[in-house]
């Protein structure tokens, strides 16, 4: 049927997007000039000869197109080169830091999704009531509160004033005392995950409540009630699934941007993840890390968009393929 | 509670003495920010067993809301604020929401105006129909599917087994409305509320759907309330007709009486404003198509006295002060107009 | 008006007490929307918050107690001091008066938000408008182009470009441009945030080009320029205004985050800079982080509520 062709077409388009981003990224980096020159410019005692040697060492002396294809071919084999600053393979670093990032981002989205479904159902089925008003107000406030400001508030309250939760890092020396890295790790996750949950819940709730309110006034909901289905079936079986369709786009973006928004979260909580790594890489001009991580983030985003499109086809039979 | 409903299966008593539904002084008000809109404000009617009652009125006269009220489904900000709806002698308005759900679809079902929006777009026809059957009756999935297939067959859908797997957007408008009718009839209800069932359809399809409804009503011995603004539709379908204006009943009589001997000025004006084939509205000998002057009243501040007085050609000063009460002027013919034999109460 | 009874007093003028006077000309879409907006409490709150921020931005030289670059508290040993009568919101670790910096930050924030959205709107409306009006291959191509911008991880690209651009300009004439980093951030935000506007503009242009009044205008011989600028664009504006209001809040937030991470303009007086300089000292001088944070919150909340209110005002269908 058309489904397979549709997915194939989206796949090809996604590949083109990633290729496009890689070309632009490469061009941008090269337009700025020889990274070796820029890196070594601020140091004393560097002669042109040394610059040429280092340039040749990193394979930066060929033509631009040659270097692009070498780089592209390496990336396809998941070889992102070696970090200039840390002198480690970038792919290994991305993996190690990536695990830490996903550790707070994925619970941050999933918990928020569950809470948003609950809260928005509660509000939308009692439209214009006090509960509804409270939910909208709370969600609007949470949605407008910048993530990092929320993080600051959480740290002030729970770390400095109450002193019950750690404000930075993923592990501490306490883990030795507590005799469990698992509990210690979870302990450190509370605040960063909490911040993500508050923000994501607020935004998802706003979206889902208005979508649900819209669906609940549709004829087919009245028709389902008029057919004698109990309220629980009408709301959860008929309304929620329809209301979820517009939310899906945002959920896709949320998963796709997981890594892109990480720098802020991870700076606030000094979390050893990809976001923090990226900030350091930019500050210290660690080119292989910058390029590798940008490509990984782009692939994540494109994949999330692709999965969203496919999910649409599965959840909504009306989508015309083509 | 259930025992009263079960009494339906007993041998049918004489129809006039025991109507299936008796609506008394029904009031449904919309509580908007601008004030209370009295959409239905004291409405009475009865539906006898195995008959079709046509409820006619302009848009906004409260006819749709009154049928939703029967299912306790008036949408917020509207609320049913008064009256009784006696179904087989039991007041439905006293039922808890949960107890009401077991009446909907099983004893009283509804056919909606717009077939394009009244089916859930993301479930297959079969899933939607079977869910209803299985909710009301403890039957297996197979049995539910068989019932759904039989009903689709009954409403004239070809290849019903294949249709069960299709989604609403894959069917034409007329086909969807047939599915809507099948959905209403799944549990063999005693009463079907049809809310403008043909308004959203093409003219050629309208006739087919009306014929189908008439045939099914006769075949299944069910009662039907047909809500419409179209005099032509009720003329063709209804045994009795209730004419509504601004949330109140003007006149109720047999279809024949309404068309041959209407008494209420509004009914007469409605009938006169229907185009007729034996009149000419163009050319040299043309006559103007009569219309009713003015606009339907604002139900936020309904006029005092008779609701129709400011558009009524026969209105007197008294009509502004006195609220007419429905009075039987001939056997089976009630009118609420003080100029035509009704009583009234001072407003 | 589906009833067979249409009010036509001219035919039977004597009948009843028919109102024969014509109703006054209905107000236009903007005025109608304003009537609806005025009754939306959340929207009005948003308008007030935004108005407040604009007022502060306009009046900051008159109401700020200190010069934003006055570090004299440092010399008096009064840096990192809690709120006092002289420094109502305390001083930060560089000796700046926090209140003054927060007040001056309002104009920077508005400049970023409005500047970035102006760039984004122009690009978005032109590209989306052409795509929607022309249709066909042009549409396909332009929308794929827009989609490309939707998948670029904007935020981290901006971080990288701001940093690298800062290196490149060293030694060129660009270096002497005041607030260069801030300009760069504004331009980048504008360049990367036009895609949603283009999508909306395309949808609206597509819907409106088949509207009856546009066909009527074509029939009486209006030029294409007239049709686009006088008939289609004004009717597409309501939906676009909502997006722009949201976008201003978003751009302000983005600039703050860029600055917070240390890639902002060190010379600009912005809320993000204030946070960047003082976040390390959160434990000892929380007021210096809380004040700019609250300012960002109020501004973003204002624009979000405003956009919400505008959506409701322009879509009466959703009204109660």
Residue B11, pLDDT > 60, answer: no
> Could you tell me if C153 lies within 8 Å of chain A, comparing CB atoms?
yes
CA B288 to chain centre: 31
> Could you tell me if A283 lies within 8 Å of chain C, comparing CB atoms?
yes
Q: Which residues contact A15 (CB under 8 A, 6 or more apart)?
A: none
Lowest mean pLDDT among A11-25, A120-134, B191-205, B284-298: B284-298
> Could you tell me if A271 lies within 8 Å of chain C, comparing CB atoms?
no
C106-135 exposure pattern, b = at least 16 Cβ within 10 A, e = fewer: bbbbbbbbbbbbebbbebbbebbbbbbbee
pLDDT band at B6, cuts 50/70/90?
very low
* Chains touching C (3+ CB pairs < 8 Å): A, B
**Are the C-beta atoms of B27 and B81 separated by less than 8 Å?**
yes
DSSP C294: H
A:156-185 residues touching chain C, CB 8 A cutoff: 156, 160
The beta-carbon neighbor of A224 closest among B68, B98, B120 is B120
The beta-carbon neighbor of A226 closest among B73, B77, B124 is B73
Residues of B in contact with C21 (CB under 8 A): none
Residue C317, pLDDT > 70, answer: no
Residues of C in contact with B230 (CB under 8 A): 4
**Are the C-beta atoms of C189 and C162 separated by less than 8 Å?**
no
- Give kind and range of the element (H or E) at residue C110: helix C98-134
φ and ψ of B23, to 5 deg: -100, 125
**Are the C-beta atoms of A165 and A191 separated by less than 8 Å?**
yes
Residue C318, pLDDT > 60, answer: no
The nearest CA of chain A is from the CA of B299 a distance in Å of 23
The beta-carbon neighbor of A264 closest among C168, C261, C308 is C261
Residue C10, pLDDT > 70, answer: no
Interchain proximity C151–A21, CB inside 8 Å: yes
DSSP B81: E
Low-confidence ranges of chain A (pLDDT < 50): 322
Q: Which of A292, A299, A255 is nearest to A274 (CA)?
A: A292
Interface test with A, best of C152, C159, C259, C306 (most A CBs within 10 A): C152
**Are the C-beta atoms of A222 and B104 separated by less than 8 Å?**
no
pLDDT score at A47: 76
Interchain proximity B294–C9, CB inside 8 Å: yes
Residues of B in contact with A220 (CB under 8 A): 117-121
ipTM: 0.84
> Could you tell me if B32 lies within 8 Å of chain C, comparing CB atoms?
yes
Q: Does domain B1-107+190-303 have CATH number 3.30.830.10?
A: no
Interchain proximity A152–C282, CB inside 8 Å: yes
φ and ψ of A266, to 5 deg: -75, -25
Residue B166, pLDDT > 50, answer: yes
The beta-carbon neighbor of A227 closest among B97, B104, B121 is B104
- Give kind and range of the element (H or E) at residue A104: helix A90-124
Residues of C in contact with B270 (CB under 8 A): 4-5
Please give the Cα distance from C263 to A6 (Å, whole number): 42
pLDDT band at C5, cuts 50/70/90?
very low
In chain C, where the domains are located: 101-319
pLDDT score at C234: 85
Rounded CA Rg of chain A: 24
Interface test with A, best of B118, B127, B199 (most A CBs within 10 A): B118
> Could you tell me if C140 lies within 8 Å of chain A, comparing CB atoms?
no
Higher pLDDT, B94 or C78: B94
pLDDT digits (tens, 9 = 90+) for B89-121: 888 888 888 888 888 988 999 999 888 889 998
φ and ψ of B30, to 5 deg: -95, 125
In chain A, where the domains are located: 2-76, 90-315
In CATH terms, the fold of domain A90-315 is MetI-like fold (1.10.3720)
Residue A19, both tokens: 């290729």
Closest-CA residue in chain C for B61? C3
Residues of B in contact with A224 (CB under 8 A): 120
Count of CB atoms within 10 A of residue A79's CB?
Answer: 14
Interchain proximity C6–B315, CB inside 8 Å: no
Interchain proximity C261–A28, CB inside 8 Å: no
Residue B12, pLDDT > 80, answer: no
pLDDT digits (tens, 9 = 90+) for C127-183: 999 998 888 899 888 988 888 887 777 888 888 888 888 777 777 777 777 778 888
Strands (E), chain B: 21-32, 35-47, 52-56, 78-87, 90-91, 108-111, 191-195, 223-228, 240-245, 248-254, 322-325, 327-330, 333-335, 343-346
The nearest CA of chain A is from the CA of B71 a distance in Å of 7
In chain B, where the domains are located: 1-107+190-303, 121-188
pLDDT band at C124, cuts 50/70/90?
very high
Please give the Cα distance from C203 to C48 (Å, whole number): 31
Residue C267, pLDDT > 50, answer: yes
Mean pLDDT of B252-271: 88
Residue B49, both tokens: 């067993």
Higher pLDDT, B55 or A4: B55
> Could you tell me if B138 lies within 8 Å of chain C, comparing CB atoms?
no
Angle of helix A181-216 relative to helix A240-257, nearest 10 degrees, comes to 140
Count of CB atoms within 10 A of residue A135's CB?
Answer: 21
Closest-CA residue in chain A for B189? A227
Hey, what long-range contacts does C174-180 have (CB within 8 A, 24 or more apart)? C178/C267, C179/C265, C179/C267, C179/C268, C180/C265
Interchain proximity A32–C164, CB inside 8 Å: yes
CATH number of C101-319: 1.10.3720.10
Please give the Cα distance from B255 to B242 (Å, whole number): 9
The beta-carbon neighbor of A144 closest among C161, C289, C300 is C300
Lowest mean pLDDT among A21-35, C7-21, C117-131: C7-21
Q: Which of A235, A226, C112, A200 is nearest to B194 (CA)?
A: A226
The beta-carbon neighbor of B73 closest among A222, A242, A245 is A222
pLDDT digits (tens, 9 = 90+) for A250-284: 888 888 888 878 888 888 888 888 998 999 998 88
Residue B14, pLDDT > 50, answer: no
**Are the C-beta atoms of A140 and C304 separated by less than 8 Å?**
yes
Higher pLDDT, C208 or B14: C208
Is there a cis peptide before residue B77, judged by omega within 30 degrees of 0?
yes
pLDDT band at B308, cuts 50/70/90?
confident
> Could you tell me if A264 lies within 8 Å of chain C, comparing CB atoms?
yes
Q: Which residues contact A133 (CB under 8 A, 6 or more apart)?
A: none
Interchain proximity A146–C257, CB inside 8 Å: yes
The nearest CA of chain A is from the CA of C5 a distance in Å of 27
Mean pLDDT of B33-54: 88
> Could you tell me if A138 lies within 8 Å of chain C, comparing CB atoms?
no
**pLDDT over 70 percentage in chain B:** 94
Interface test with C, best of A26, A31, A33, A148 (most C CBs within 10 A): A148
B:302-331 residues touching chain C, CB 8 A cutoff: 310-313, 315
Please give the Cα distance from C16 to C19 (Å, whole number): 9
Residues of A in contact with C260 (CB under 8 A): 148, 264, 267
Residue C209, pLDDT > 50, answer: yes
Residue B340, pLDDT > 70, answer: yes
Residues of C in contact with A215 (CB under 8 A): none
Query: Helices marked H in A145-230 — which ranges?
Result: 147-154, 174-178, 181-216, 219-226
C84-102 exposure pattern, b = at least 16 Cβ within 10 A, e = fewer: eeebebbbbeebbbbbbbb
Count of CB atoms within 10 A of residue B216's CB?
Answer: 19
Interchain proximity C4–B313, CB inside 8 Å: no
Residues of A in contact with B32 (CB under 8 A): none
A:218-247 residues touching chain B, CB 8 A cutoff: 218-220, 222-231, 233, 237-238, 241-242, 245
The beta-carbon neighbor of B117 closest among A219, A238, A241 is A219
**Are the C-beta atoms of A44 and A247 separated by less than 8 Å?**
no
**Are the C-beta atoms of C264 and C158 separated by less than 8 Å?**
no
Interchain proximity A145–C320, CB inside 8 Å: no
The beta-carbon neighbor of C18 closest among B58, B59, B294 is B294
pLDDT score at A1: 52
Q: Which of A204, A226, A86 is nearest to A139 (CA)?
A: A204
The nearest CA of chain C is from the CA of A32 a distance in Å of 6
The beta-carbon neighbor of B131 closest among A229, A242, A316 is A229
Closest-CA residue in chain A for B110? A226
Task: State pTM to two decimals.
Answer: 0.82
């Amino acid at each position: 049927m058309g489904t397979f062709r549709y997915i194939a077409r989206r796949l090809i388009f996604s590949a083109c997007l990633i290729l496009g981003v890689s070309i632009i990224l490469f061009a941008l980096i090269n337009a700025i000039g020889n990274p070796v020159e820029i890196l070594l410019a601020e140091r004393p005692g560097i002669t042109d000869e040394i610059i040429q040697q280092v340039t040749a060492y990193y394979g930066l002396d060929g033509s631009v197109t040659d270097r692009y294809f070498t780089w592209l071919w390496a990336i396809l084999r998941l070889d992102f080169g070696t970090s200039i600053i840390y002198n480690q393979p970038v792919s290994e670093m991305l993996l190690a830091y990536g695990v830490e990032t996903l550790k707070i981002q994925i619970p941050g989205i999933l918990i928020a999704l569950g809470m948003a479904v609950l809260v928005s159902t509660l509000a939308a089925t009692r439209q214009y009531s006090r509960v509804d008003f409270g939910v909208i107000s709370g969600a609007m406030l949470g949605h407008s509160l910048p993530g990092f400001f929320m993080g600051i508030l959480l740290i002030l309250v729970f770390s400095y004033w109450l002193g019950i939760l750690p404000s930075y890092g993923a592990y501490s020396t306490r883990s030795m005392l507590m005799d469990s890295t698992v509990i210690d790790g979870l302990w450190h996750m509370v605040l960063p995950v909490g911040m993500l949950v508050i923000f994501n819940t607020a935004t998802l709730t706003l979206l889902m409540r208005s979508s649900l309110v819209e669906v609940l006034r549709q004829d087919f909901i009245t028709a389902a009630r008029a057919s004698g289905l109990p309220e629980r079936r009408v709301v959860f079986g008929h309304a929620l699934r329809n209301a979820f369709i517009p939310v899906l786009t945002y959920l896709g973006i949320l998963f796709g941007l997981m890594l892109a928004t990480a720098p802020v979260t991870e700076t606030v909580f000094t979390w050893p993840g990809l976001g923090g790594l990226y900030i350091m890489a930019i500050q210290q001009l660690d080119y292989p890390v910058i390029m590798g991580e940008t490509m990984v983030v782009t692939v994540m985003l494109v994949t999330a968009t692709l999965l969203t499109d496919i999910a649409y086809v599965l959840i909504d039979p009306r989508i015309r393929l083509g | 509670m259930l025992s009263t409903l079960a009494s339906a299966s007993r041998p049918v008593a004489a129809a006039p003495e025991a109507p299936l539904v008796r609506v008394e002084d029904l009031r449904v008000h919309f509580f908007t920010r601008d004030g209370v809109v009295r959409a239905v404000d004291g409405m009475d009617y009865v539906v006898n067993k195995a008959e079709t009652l046509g409820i006619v009125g302009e848009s906004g006269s409260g006819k749709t809301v009154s049928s939703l009220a029967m299912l306790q489904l008036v949408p917020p900000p509207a609320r049913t604020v008064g009256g009784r709806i006696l179904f087989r002698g039991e007041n439905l308005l006293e039922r808890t929401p949960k107890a009401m759900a077991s009446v909907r679809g099983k004893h009283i079902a509804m056919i909606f105006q717009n077939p394009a929006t009244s089916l859930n777009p993301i479930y297959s026809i079969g899933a939607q129909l079977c869910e209803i059957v299985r909710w009301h009756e403890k039957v297996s999935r197979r049995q539910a599917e068989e019932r759904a297939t039989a009903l689709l067959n009954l409403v004239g859908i070809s290849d019903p087994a294949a249709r069960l797997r299709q989604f609403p957007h894959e069917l034409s408008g007329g086909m969807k409305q047939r599915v809507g009718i099948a959905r209403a009839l799944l549990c063999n209800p005693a009463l079907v509320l049809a809310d403008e069932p043909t308004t959203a359809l093409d003219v050629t399809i309208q006739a087919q759907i009306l014929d189908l409804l008439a045939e099914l009503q006769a075949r299944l011995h069910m009662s039907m309330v047909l809500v419409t603004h179209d005099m032509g539709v009720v003329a063709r379908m209804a045994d009795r007709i209730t004419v509504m204006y601004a949330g109140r009943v003007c006149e109720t009589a047999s279809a024949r009486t309404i068309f041959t001997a209407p008494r209420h000025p509004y009914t007469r004006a409605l009938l006169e404003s229907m185009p007729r084939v034996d009149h000419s509205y163009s050319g040299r000998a043309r006559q103007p198509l009569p219309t009713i002057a003015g606009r339907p009243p604002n139900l936020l501040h309904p006029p005092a006295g008779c609701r129709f007085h400011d558009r009524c050609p026969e209105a007197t000063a008294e009509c502004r002060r006195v609220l007419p009460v429905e009075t039987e002027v001939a056997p089976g013919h009630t009118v609420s107009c003080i100029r035509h034999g009704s009583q009234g109460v001072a407003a | 008006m589906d009833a067979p009874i249409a009010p036509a007093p001219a035919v039977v003028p004597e009948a009843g007490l028919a109102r024969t006077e014509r109703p006054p000309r209905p107000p236009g879409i903007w005025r109608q929307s304003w009537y609806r907006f005025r009754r939306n409490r959340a929207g009005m709150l948003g308008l007030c918050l935004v108005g407040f921020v604009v007022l502060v931005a306009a009046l900051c030289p008159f109401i700020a107690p200190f010069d934003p670059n006055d570090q004299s508290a440092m010399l008096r040993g009064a840096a990192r001091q809690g709120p006092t009568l002289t420094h109502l919101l305390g001083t930060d670790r560089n000796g700046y008066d926090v209140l003054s910096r927060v007040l001056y930050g309002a104009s920077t924030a508005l400049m970023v938000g409005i500047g970035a959205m102006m760039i984004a709107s122009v690009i978005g409306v032109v590209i989306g408008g052409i795509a929607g009006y022309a249709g066909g291959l042009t549409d396909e191509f332009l929308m794929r182009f827009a989609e490309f911008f939707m998948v670029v991880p904007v935020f981290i690209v901006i971080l990288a470009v701001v940093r690298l651009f800062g290196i490149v300009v060293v030694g060129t004439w660009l270096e002497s441009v005041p607030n260069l980093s801030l300009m760069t951030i504004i331009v980048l935000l504008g360049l990367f945030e036009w895609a949603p506007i283009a999508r909306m503009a395309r949808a609206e242009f597509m819907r409106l080009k088949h509207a009856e009044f546009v066909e009527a205008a074509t029939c009486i011989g209006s030029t294409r320029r007239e049709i686009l600028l006088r008939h289609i664009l004004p009717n597409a504006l309501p939906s676009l205004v909502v997006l722009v209001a949201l976008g201003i809040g978003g751009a302000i937030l983005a600039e703050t985050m860029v600055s917070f991470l240390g890639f902002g303009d060190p010379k600009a007086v912005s809320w993000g800079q204030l946070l960047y300089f003082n976040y390390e000292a959160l434990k000892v001088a929380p007021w210096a982080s809380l004040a700019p944070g609250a300012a960002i919150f109020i501004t973003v909340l204002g624009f979000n509520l405003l956009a919400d209110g505008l959506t409701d005002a322009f879509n009466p269908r959703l009204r109660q």
